Amino acid sequence: MRPNSQQQMAAGPKSAFTLIEAVLALAILGISIFALVEATSRCLAIIRKARNYQTARAVLDRGEAVYPIQTTNAPDESSVAPVELLDGFTFSRELEAVDGEVKLYRVVTRVVWSETGKAAREEVVSYAFFPKEEE
């Protein structure tokens, strides 16, 4: 004798998800998607920042090539007022005498740009000796 369908459903194992299991699975999926979107957003921000610093280094190299420091000239001639060498990237150079040293100058070379509404910069500090400078 075969049992009817109601008896089979009551006696057999459950094969479907309950509502609580489905809601729990959706919550876990939602949290996972949120974490992936957040991680992707941070990665893109880091990539943008790295690209800006790489461009700043290229502008710095270009500025050094266009406006080289020549120790045969007066130190004032090696200073460079801010000049835009690339779209949004400004190159400048300042020379200041080192205290207690004759003919030695501290050279501060900067590249400034705007990053997400804030000013960002790359700065290189070096020293230059001007042997033919008048005392």
In the chain, which ranges are E strands?
Answer: 80-86, 89-97, 104-115, 118-129
pLDDT in tens, 54-90: 999 999 999 999 999 887 778 888 899 999 998 899 9
Is residue 3 situated within a structural domain?
no
Range of the domain at 55: 16-129
Is residue 4 situated within a structural domain?
no
Is residue 10 situated within a structural domain?
no
**pLDDT for res 5:** 58
pLDDT in tens, 37-61: 999 999 999 999 999 999 999 999 9
Is residue 113 situated within a structural domain?
yes
pTM value surpassing 0.75: no
d(CA 135, CA 84): 34
Is residue 7 situated within a structural domain?
no
Nearest CA among 36, 40, 52, 65 for reference residue 115: 52
**pLDDT for res 4:** 61
**pLDDT for res 109:** 96
Tell me the average pLDDT of the chain. Answer: 88
Is residue 9 situated within a structural domain?
no
Overall number of domains in the chain? 1
Is residue 125 situated within a structural domain?
yes
Position 9 confidence tier, pLDDT thresholds 50, 70, 90: low
Is residue 41 situated within a structural domain?
yes
User: CB of 77 within 8 A of CB of 70?
Assistant: yes
